Amino acid sequence: MLARLSDVTKRYLRSEGLRSVTLDFPAGEVVGVLGLNGSGKSTMLKILAGLLVPSEGTATVFGGAPRRNRARVVYLGETDALWAWMTPADAERFMVGLYGDFDVVRFNDLLDSLEVPRRKTKAMSKGERGRLRLAMALARNARLYLLDEPLAGIDLLSREKILTSIVKEWHTDETILLSTHEVAEAEALFDRVVFLRDGHLALDACAEELRSGGRSVVDVFREVLS
C-alpha cells in the first residue's frame, strides 16, 4: 500500500476540510479525486503530501508519516507558486539540487513535448507556467504523484498536452491521484474515482465498472454530487 488515510478528519479554525475519511491507495492506479469546490480534495492531497497534519485519524505514506517521506512523494499544488525569476533552466537546477530522483533528460523531453518556452516565469502565460510545473513534477522518478488541479484555469490545448503527458509518463508501479473539475476531459485516465462532498467520502468506485454499467464518470459525478 503506497498511502492510507484512516478515519482522517482535518479541522481548520472555522470549518472542517475532511471528515472521517478512510481510503487506501495501492500501487499502480490513476485515481480521480473529484468533488465540488470546498469538498476536501485539496485538503486530502495536502495531508498525503505532508503539508497538513490530520486533526484526527492517521495518514501514512510508504508506511510512515507523510512529512517524513516528502522526498518520495510528488505534489503539484493548485497554487501558481514558482518564483518570478525562475526560468526552466533555473527550475532544473532547483530540482536537481533538491531531489535525488529528478531526471534531467525526462525533464527536457517534457519541456519540449509540453512546449514550455525557455524564459522567466513572469514572462509566461498561466498555461505555460502550469506546463512547466507539471514538467518539474513528472520528471521525478517517484511512485506517488499527487496532482491538485493541474488543469485549472488552463486553455484547452494546454490541458490536452498535460493529460497526454500524464498518460505518457505513467508507469504501472506508480499511483497518481489527480484532482480536477475537468471530469469529462480526464475521465479516460481514471482507473478509480473518489468522490468527496463536504469533506465526506461520497463514493469510491472502479471507473471501469462504472463504464461497463453504461455510465460515464461525468454521469456519476452529477448523480452523486448534485
Which CB, 13 or 212, lies closer to other proteins?
13
> Which grid coordinates are listed for 11?
479541522
Shortest spacing between CB 197 and other proteins, in angstroms:
22
- In the numeric block, which cell numbers belong to residue 7? 478515519
- x-marked contacts with other proteins along 15-54 as a string, rule CB under 8 A: -------------------------------x--xxxxx-
Cβ proximity to other proteins: between 75 and 221 the closer is: 75
Closer of 97 and 214 to other proteins (Cβ): 97
Buried b (16+ CB within 10 A) or exposed e, 9-35: ebeeeeebbbbebebebeeebbbbbbb
Smallest distance from other proteins to CB 77, Å? 6
Q: Could you tell me whether strands 30-35 and 192-197 are parallel, antiparallel, or unpaired per DSSP bridges?
A: parallel
Q: Could you give the 3-state DSSP secondary structure of residue 20? A: strand
Note whether 1 binds other proteins by CB under 8 A: no
User: By the 8 A CB rule, do 48 and 73 touch?
Assistant: yes
Q: How far apart are CA 23 and CA 95, in angstroms?
A: 30
Site for other proteins in 48-67 (CB under 8 A): 49-53, 67
Q: Which stretch binds other proteins (CB under 8 A): 7-15, 113-121, 173-181, 188-196?
A: 7-15
Question: Which 81-120 residues touch other proteins, going by CB under 8 A?
Answer: 81-83, 85-86, 90, 93-94, 96-100
**Nearest CB to other proteins, comparing residues 89 and 188:** 89
Counting Cβ atoms within 10 Å, is residue 78 exposed (0-12), middle (13-18) or buried (19+)?
middle
Residue placing its CB nearer to other proteins in the complex, 31 or 82? 82
End-to-end alpha carbon distance in the chain: 32
CA distance 52 to 192: 24
Kindly indicate which of the ranges 69-77, 161-169, 186-194, 202-210 contains the residues binding other proteins, using the contact rule CB under 8 A. Answer: 69-77
Say how far apart CA 120 and CA 90 lie, in whole Å: 9
Q: Which is nearer to other proteins, 85 or 105 (CB)?
A: 85
Instruction: Report the interface residues with other proteins, using CB under 8 A.
Output: 12-14, 46, 49-53, 67, 70-71, 75, 77, 79-83, 85-86, 90, 93-94, 96-100
